[in-house]
Amino acid sequence: MGDNGRTRARPEQHSGSGATGTRRRGRALEDAILDAAWEVLVDHGYTGFTFEAVATRAGTSRPVLYRRWPQREDLLLATLAKNWQPVEIPDTGRLRDDAITFLRRLNADRARNVVVMCIQLADYFRDTGTSFCDLRDSLRPSGSSAPLQVIVCRAVERGELPDVPRTDRILNLAFDLVRHDLLMTMDALPDESIVEIVDEVWLPLLKAAG
């Protein structure tokens, strides 16, 4: 039906950062949206993670999002996939240094991410009946083993540890404890805690497991 009195305020300008007046397309647009989506997720959790909020933050409009990700979950998974980076595994030649360095990196990195991915996503987990465990598994590069397992393997190869079978529980204990503290306090661990976990708990168990 004819003219419904719309009066185009100004062309556009996507209110983003540089705002060159140019209109974003394809990959560039998609990246900008997913970055905006990540920020929204960090700031407001899954509950505040609405098409409305993400579109506004990205300086675009909801239809643009709906065209790419019909469901909120699709947008969420795309956002996570783009922003999740595995923590680098150090190789210093000494078990204790490897462990402490790795856990420090983990602590710094996941103090942001784990809180987002586990705590903020609680509603997502409830809605879908999945758990943090499932999500982690689906984001970890398939076939790769747990970081601490790699570190222990190297120590065994160097002869730093006896070559005896160890349970996953023991191998991942230090990782689990750091994650536990992150979840409980929703904040990074003090460095002393990391050293304590390695020296008082993990290493003694690894050495005693013979």
Binding site for DNA (CB under 7 A): 1, 4, 6, 8-9, 11-15, 21-26, 29, 48, 50-53, 59-64, 66-67, 70-72
In the region spanning residues 191 to 210, those forming contacts with a copy of itself, defined by CB under 8 A, are 193, 196-197, 200-201, 204-205, 208
**Contacting range for a copy of itself; rule: CB under 8 A; set: 4-12, 17-25, 139-147, 170-178:** 170-178
In the region spanning residues 100 to 159, those forming contacts with a copy of itself, defined by CB under 8 A, are 118-123, 125-126, 131-133
Using CB distances below 5 to 8 A depending on partner kind, what does residue 125 bind out of DNA, a copy of itself, none? a copy of itself
Q: For residues 110 and 182, is the Cβ–Cβ distance under 8 A?
A: yes
What Cα–Cα distance (Å) separates residue 12 from each residue in 65, 200, 210?
17, 60, 69
In the region spanning residues 37 to 66, those forming contacts with a copy of itself, defined by CB under 8 A, are 44-45, 47
What is the C-alpha separation between 200 and 173, in angstroms, rounded? 12
Task: Give the tokens for residue 110.
Answer: 């996941």
Number of residues lying near a copy of itself (CB under 8 A)? 35
Using CB distances below 5 to 8 A depending on partner kind, what does residue 176 bind out of DNA, a copy of itself, none? a copy of itself
What is the C-alpha separation between 192 and 61, in angstroms, rounded? 47
Task: Give the tokens for residue 190.
Answer: 């003090």
What is the C-alpha separation between 8 and 59, in angstroms, rounded? 17
Half-sphere exposure of 42 (CA within 13 A, CB side): 16
Comparing CB distances to DNA, the nearer of 44 and 96 is 44
Task: Give the tokens for residue 183.
Answer: 């979840």
Binding residue for a copy of itself (CB under 8 A) from 14, 104, 154, 179? 179
Q: For residues 106 and 175, is the Cβ–Cβ distance under 8 A?
A: yes
CB of 112 to DNA, least distance (A): 23
Comparing CB distances to DNA, the nearer of 31 and 88 is 31
Helices and strands in the chain, H and E counts: 12, 0
CB of 78 to DNA, least distance (A): 14
Half-sphere exposure of 152 (CA within 13 A, CB side): 25
Site residues for a copy of itself per CB under 8 A = 44-45, 47, 118-123, 125-126, 131-133, 167, 169-170, 173, 176-177, 179-180, 183-187, 193, 196-197, 200-201, 204-205, 208
